[in-house]
Amino acid sequence: MSIAGNVGLADLPRICPLISRRVQTSVGSDETRVVTVGEVQFGGGHPVVIAGPCAVESEEQTLAVARAVKAAGAEMLRGGAFKPRTSPHDFQGLGVEGLRILSKARRETGLPVVTEVMDPRLVETVAEHADMLQIGSRNMQNYPLLVEAGKSGKPVLLKRGMAASLCEWLGAAEYIAKEGNLEIVLCERGIKAFPAGEYSRNVLDLGVVPAVKKETFLPIIVDPSHATGVASMVEGASCGAIEFGSDGLLIEVACDEPGAIRPKCDAAQAINPRTLENIVRFIESRGASRMWRKAHVV
């Protein structure tokens, strides 16, 4: 009774030879290959904090959040111009206009920008405005999109699918690598599992972080916002991810001073800039210990 399609970690050298640590031995056996976006380095030892609004909803809101996250210590800006939504009747993002707003926010703050692309026909357009392309969970196995992202030569942030095994996730990364693009950063964002939905949006699977480090040299970061879906859990999840060895964080932030605009999209998981600052401080305080542990964990 053999089972079609059943693969395990032992199959990784065959599934993804270009990014499997067991095949590609030029990167040291416990090293991470550094991915550079502007002056930001993923996998270089210092965890990278990417923060910003869920969606780009207006220029005013985006610039306000961008300034706030920069002030709080974030090194990159996130924000969705094209938003994949469960319902086609919900706000789908500002599209190209959103990309222009992000470009403006980068010019003003100096923060490199990562934003999602969902359509292979728009990879080029998004790549003109973004410093890094995000492939979202829903599109982890959208292979034509992965191929175009690979061809673009831009750094790619590849989120894990909602129920993806590690094999499937690394197989998806291999589609990008096959186009000659190794500038790939993985992003864990919670998986669907019973009892997801009872008290959190998804189940944050931090165990995948050391597993990724064991199997590939690609950097991996964690999105505590989608993993929990609950703003009050984001700080704990962020610090927990850092302790588990994450190379960075992708966090949704909304301004909350009097008069600030509330987000239309996923407001319940957005933290405020002060909480972001706590997370940044935690990372700084943990710097030395992490280095030490890194040398021993894998």
Q: Which residues within the stretch 63-102 sit at the binding site for a copy of itself (CB under 8 A)?
A: 84, 86-89
The answer to whether residue 161 forms part of the interface with a copy of itself (CB under 8 A) is yes
Return d(Cα 174, Cα 63) in angstroms, integer: 35
Q: Shortest gap between Cβ of 27 and a copy of itself (angstroms)?
A: 18
- Give φ, ψ of 65 to 5 degrees: -65, -40
Hey, which residues between 178 and 237 contact a copy of itself (CB under 8 A)? 178, 191-201, 203-211, 214-215, 225-230, 232-233, 235-237
The residue (of 66 and 233) whose beta carbon lies closer to a copy of itself is: 233
Is 240 one of the binding residues for a copy of itself (CB under 8 A)? Answer: yes
Q: Does 10 bind a copy of itself (CB under 8 A)?
A: no
Omega before 195 cis (within 30°)?
A: yes
272 binds a copy of itself (CB under 8 A): no
24 vs 165 by CB, closer to a copy of itself: 165
Q: Would you state the structure tokens that stand for residue 31, as one six-digit string?
A: 């090293």
CA 67/CA 73 separation, integer angstroms? 10
Q: Residues 15, 34, 96, 261: which binds a copy of itself (CB under 8 A)?
A: 15
Backbone angles phi, psi at 209, to 5 degrees: -65, -55
Binding mask 108-147 for a copy of itself (x = CB under 8 A): ----------xxxx----------------xxxxxxxx--
Contacts of 109 (CB under 8 A, 6+ apart): 66, 67, 70, 77
Q: Quote the CA–CA distance of 222 and 103 in Å, as a whole number.
A: 24
Nearer to a copy of itself, 67 or 214 (CB): 214
- The half-sphere exposure of 35 on its side-chain side, counting CA atoms within 13 A, is 25
Judged by CB, which is closer to a copy of itself: 110, or 207?
Answer: 207
